[in-house]
Structure 1
Amino acid sequence: MVTVPARVRRARYIAECVPDPELPMLTLADLGVLRDVEVDDDGTVVVSLTPTYSGCPAMAEMRAEVAARLTNAGYGRVRVRTALDPPWTSDWITPNGRRTLAEHGIAPPGPAPRPGPCPVPLTLAPFPARRAVPCPLCGSADTEETSRFGATSCKALWRCRACREPFEYVKEI
């Protein structure tokens, strides 16, 4: 068993507690974008974050907030890097993150699509049916997508036909 130094554990805890700027009810850890925290030989704390989407505008704010919190906690040198491999998947959202999304009226994603065999077969047919997205407010499966694009790249807009309320849905990736 590897023993993690207290300095690294504390730095990780600080980074884990940073809220996501677009979904502030979630921490970076709950969203699954916090990949790693380590300390280099020269004492620099290096935090690795993975964006939910390529070009995610929230990444600059995430980097700045992680760096500010670690600096304010007494870590003199901090570097926040972007890790693109492997790419983020909605499967990395923690069970607590999924529960928290639903508690805030945002439908959490289902399982991320799995890549099929290569090469990818091309099917010239209507769009495949999307999975049913249950309403996070009343639980009904009688819902419909109203816009594939929500306030952020990672969300879509849906409406419940049963309770007639609109809600956001975090897309599977």
Structure 2
Amino acid sequence: MEVMSLMMLGLLAVVVIYAVQLYNGLVSLKHNVDKAWANIDILLKQRHDELPKLVETCKQYKQFEQETLQRVITARSQVQEARQAQDIAALGGAEHALRSGLGRLFAVAEAYPELRSNENFMQLQQRISSLENAIADRRELYNESVNLNNVRIEQFPEVLLAGMFGFTAKPLLEFSGAEKSDVDLKQLFS
């Protein structure tokens, strides 16, 4: 009887240790998703802080297109609202609007030689472009972290622990169809 009890106790210990390892793995994945989102959030905030400077630099040129500036300002506030609410779906659409507005602003700026030669404008354009590249890199990392999390919580036996401890699927940061399609250069310069 003692041998059987020891075997059962040993088996129970193995099962508990295995369950703890699975749980810790799920916790690690959850925190990786949160960390990836925090990295995007920081870059979005940095870009958010740079955009008013860009708009003010462009406003110095009275004839610069006010509609283009307004489009960037509106999109900036939509991104800020989605970022603060951590609404991943809304952020994708708002990001598309902001990128379109910035693309148009940079394209329109080509018609203003004084603006293009403005040192502040050039620095801001380079800074915003580098932030855009960093955001794209972080989006990829975020989506990879989300994918790993979502796959793991659906696999057996993790699905049992995920259900018991409230681990949920996270949304991917998806892009609108327009953002994935080819750029219409005619529209940018019209």
Query: What is the TM-score of this pair, normalised by structure 1?
Result: 0.24
Task: Name whichever structure is richer in strand by fraction.
Answer: 1
Task: Name whichever structure is richer in helix by fraction.
Answer: 2
